[in-house]
C-alpha cells in the first residue's frame, strides 16, 4: 500500500516543476502562465530507504523492490474556484481522490516569473487555497443536508449520524476553521471519511525557495513555518529548481551537487518522510534470495492486515507471522543467525506490526 499525495498551489508557484523533478518525467509542462497543467498528471516514485539495501545485501537478494508513492499534479487554483472560476470544478474533483495535500507555496523572488496575485506572500496564498476548499465544503454540506431531511425525520440511523457529523463540520467551517479540527469518535470514523470533505485532508506545506536558500530557508519560509506550527501542520523547505537539476544527474553527480549546495539529502526524501509522518505510515520488509521488498502500511496495522497488503489470500488464511526486527536482522547477519539467537518471534493475529519488521507470513490456501 502506497499513498497518493496531491500537489496543489496557485499558478506559477513551481508545483509542476517540482512534480517533474520528483517523478523524473516531463509529463507536466512547466510554463510561465496559469493552467499549464490542464489534466492531473500522475507519477509514481520509489520511496528511498537505506534499510532495504542493507537487508538485500545481507540476504543476497537478486532483486530490490522499494515501496512506491504516487504524486498527482493538480491544475492551478485561483480565487473563486469553489464557484467554478478558472478550472475550479475540476480542481475540487481531483483533490477528493488524494490521501493528503501538499500545498506548494512560492517562497522565492523572481521578477521573470509572474505571480497571479502580483506579489509574493506564501501565507496569503495558503489562505486562498484553504478558503476555497472550505467554501466548497460548506456548499457540499448544505446541499447534502437538504437531501437527507426526509430520512432524518423518518429516524434513519445512518442519516441521523451523517447529519450530526455534517453539522459539526459546518459549525467549524463557518467559524473559518477546516473540518479536520473536528474531533471524531472511533464509531464515527468510517461515516466521517465517507463525507469526503476537502478540508479533512492532511496538509503539508512545501516552501519552494531559490537555489541559494535551499539549505537554510528564508523569511518567507519562516512565516510558513510559524503558520504551520500554529495550525498543527507540517512543512518542508525545497528548491524545485535544485530538484529538477538533480533529476537529470546520475547518483554520484547528484550527491556531489547536493554537498556543494549544503544539503544532506534530496528534497524528495524529506518530502516522503514528512508525508509518511503526516499519514502515520510505516514500512515492513520481506526478504529472501529472490527479492528484498518494502511494503507500506498505516501505524497500528495488525499482522493479518499487513499480510493482506501482499495478497488478500494471505489475510484470509493467516496463521502466523515469523518476525525479526530490522536491527536484529542486520546486527546478527540475517535470518538464520537471528533464529539461532532466539530473535525470530512467532506472532499471531493480534500482533501490531512495527516499522522495520522483517516478516514471513504463513497462511492456509
pLDDT at site 116: 58
pLDDT, position 267 = 87
Whether 4-278 and 300-363 share one fold: the answer is no
Residue 175: its pLDDT value, please?
95
Length of the chain: 365
Q: Which residues are annotated as a binding site?
A: 12-17
Q: What is the pLDDT of residues 87-106, one digit of tens each?
A: 445 667 788 889 999 999 99
List residues bridging with 5 in a β-sheet.
Answer: 71, 100
User: Counting beta carbons within 10 angstroms of the beta carbon of residue 73, is it exposed (0 to 12), middle (13 to 18) or buried (19 or more)?
Assistant: buried
List pLDDT tens digits, range 160-203: 999 999 999 999 999 999 999 999 999 999 999 999 999 999 99
Mean pLDDT is lowest, of 79-88, 136-145, 231-240, 263-272, for 79-88
Which CATH architecture does the domain made up of 4-278 adopt?
A: 3-Layer(aba) Sandwich (3.40)
Give the pLDDT mean for 254-282.
88
Torsion, CA 133, CA 136, CA 142, CA 143, rounded to 10 = -140
Confidence band (pLDDT; 50, 70, 90) for 276? confident
> Cell numbers 507471522 correspond to what residue?
321
How far apart are alpha carbons 1 and 126 in whole angstroms? 29
* Phi and psi angles of residue 103, each rounded to the nearest 5 degrees, phi first: -85, 110
From 80-84, 108-112, 302-306, 331-335, the region with the lowest mean pLDDT:
80-84
| CA–CA dist 355, 297 (Å, integer) | 9
Is there a contact between 238 and 215 (Cβ–Cβ < 8 Å)?
no
**Ranges 157-161, 223-227, 267-271: which has the least confidence:** 267-271
User: Each residue of 290-331: pLDDT tens digit?
Assistant: 999 999 999 999 999 999 999 999 999 999 999 999 999 999
pLDDT at residue 36 above 60? no
Domain covering 300-363, topology: Ubiquitin-like (UB roll) (3.10.20)
Q: What are phi and psi of 345, to 5 degrees?
A: -115, 145
Nearest by Cα to 67 from 281, 247, 279, 249: 281
Mark out the alpha helices in the chain (DSSP H runs): 15-23, 50-59, 88-95, 122-147, 149-153, 157-174, 189-194, 219-231, 240-246, 251-260, 267-279, 303-310, 312-316, 326-332, 335-340
Q: Is the pTM higher than 0.75?
A: yes
> How high is the pLDDT of residue 358?
98
Residues 115-152: tens digit of each pLDDT: 656 678 999 999 988 998 999 899 999 999 999 999 99
For β-strands 4-8 and 100-106, DSSP reports them as: parallel
**CA-CA distance, 322 to 129, in Å (whole number)?**
47
Question: What's the pLDDT at 1?
Answer: 52
CA distance 124 to 365: 56
Give the residue extent of every domain in the chain. Answer: 4-278, 300-363
pLDDT score for 77 = 60
Rounded Cα distance between 271 and 226, Å, is 18
Across the range 248-253, mean pLDDT stands at 85
Question: What pLDDT, on the 0 to 100 scale, is given for residue 33?
Answer: 40
Binding residues for ATP: 12-17
Determine the average pLDDT of the residues in 223-235: 92
Q: How does strand 345-347 pair with strand 318-324?
A: antiparallel
Q: Which has the closest alpha carbon to 65: 360, 291, 334?
A: 291
Conformation bin of residue 33: beta by default, left when phi > 0, alpha when psi is -120 to 50:
beta
Q: Which helix (H) or strand (E) holds 236?
A: strand 234-238
Which cell numbers hold the place of 167? 453539522
Among the listed residues 107, 85, 90, 86, the one whose alpha carbon sits nearest the alpha carbon of residue 40: 90
Report d(CA 140, CA 135) in Å as an integer.
Answer: 9
pLDDT at residue 22, as a whole number? 79
Distances in whole angstroms, Cα of residue 104 to Cα of each of 78, 84, 257: 14, 21, 23
Lowest mean pLDDT among 22-26, 127-131, 237-241, 348-352: 22-26
Average pLDDT over residues 260-278: 87
Look at 86 and 313; give whichever has higher pLDDT: 313
Amino acid at each position: 500500500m502506497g499513498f497518493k499525495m496531491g500537489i496543489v498551489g496557485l499558478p506559477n508557484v513551481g508545483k509542476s516543476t517540482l512534480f517533474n523533478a520528483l517523478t523524473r518525467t516531463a509529463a507536466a509542462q512547466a510554463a510561465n502562465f496559469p493552467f499549464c497543467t490542464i489534466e492531473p498528471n500522475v507519477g509514481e516514485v520509489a520511496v528511498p530507504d537505506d534499510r532495504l539495501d542493507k537487508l538485500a545485501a545481507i540476504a543476497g537478494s537478486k532483486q530490490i523492490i522499494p515501496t512506491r508513492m504516487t504524486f498527482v499534479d493538480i491544475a492551478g487554483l485561483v480565487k473563486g474556484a469553489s464557484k467554478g472560476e478558472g478550472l475550479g470544478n475540476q480542481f475540487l474533483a481531483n483533490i477528493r481522490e488524494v490521501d493528503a495535500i501538499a500545498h506548494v507555496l512560492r517562497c522565492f523572488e523572481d521578477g521573470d516569473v509572474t505571480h497571479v496575485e502580483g506579489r509574493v506572500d506564501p501565507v496569503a496564498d495558503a489562505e486562498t487555497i484553504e478558503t476555497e476548499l472550505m467554501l466548497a465544503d460548506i456548499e457540499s454540506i448544505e446541499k447534502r443536508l437538504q437531501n437527507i431531511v426526509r430520512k432524518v425525520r423518518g429516524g434513519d440511523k445512518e442519516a441521523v449520524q451523517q447529519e450530526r457529523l455534517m453539522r459539526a463540520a459546518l459549525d467549524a467551517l463557518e467559524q473559518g476553521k477546516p473540518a479536520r479540527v473536528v474531533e471524531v469518535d472511533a464509531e464515527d470514523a468510517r461515516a466521517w471519511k465517507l463525507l469526503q470533505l476537502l478540508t479533512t485532508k492532511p496538509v503539508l506545506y512545501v516552501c519552494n525557495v531559490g537555489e541559494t536558500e535551499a539549505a537554510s530557508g528564508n523569511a518567507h519560509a519562516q512565516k510558513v513555518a510559524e503558520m504551520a506550527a500554529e495550525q498543527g501542520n507540517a512543512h518542508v523547505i525545497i528548491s524545485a529548481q535544485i530538484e529538477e537539476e538533480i533529476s537529470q544527474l546520475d547518483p554520484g553527480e547528484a550527491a556531489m551537487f547536493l554537498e556543494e549546495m549544503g544539503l544532506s539529502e534530496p528534497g524528495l526524501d524529506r518530502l516522503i518522510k514528512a508525508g509518511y509522518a503526516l499519514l502515520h505510515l510505516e514500512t515492513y520488509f520481506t526478504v529472501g534470495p529472490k527479492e528484498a521488498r518494502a511494503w507500506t502500511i498505516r501505524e497500528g496495522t495488525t499482522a493479518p492486515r499487513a499480510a493482506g497488503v501482499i495478497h488478500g489470500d494471505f489475510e484470509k488464511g493467516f496463521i502466523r507471522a515469523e518476525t525479526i526486527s530490522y536491527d536484529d536482522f542486520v546486527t546478527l547477519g540475517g535470518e538464520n543467525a537471528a533464529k539461532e539467537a532466539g530473535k525470530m518471534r512467532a506472532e499471531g493475529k493480534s500482533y501490531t506490526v512495527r516499522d522495520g519488521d522483517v516478516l514471513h507470513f504463513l497462511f492456509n490456501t
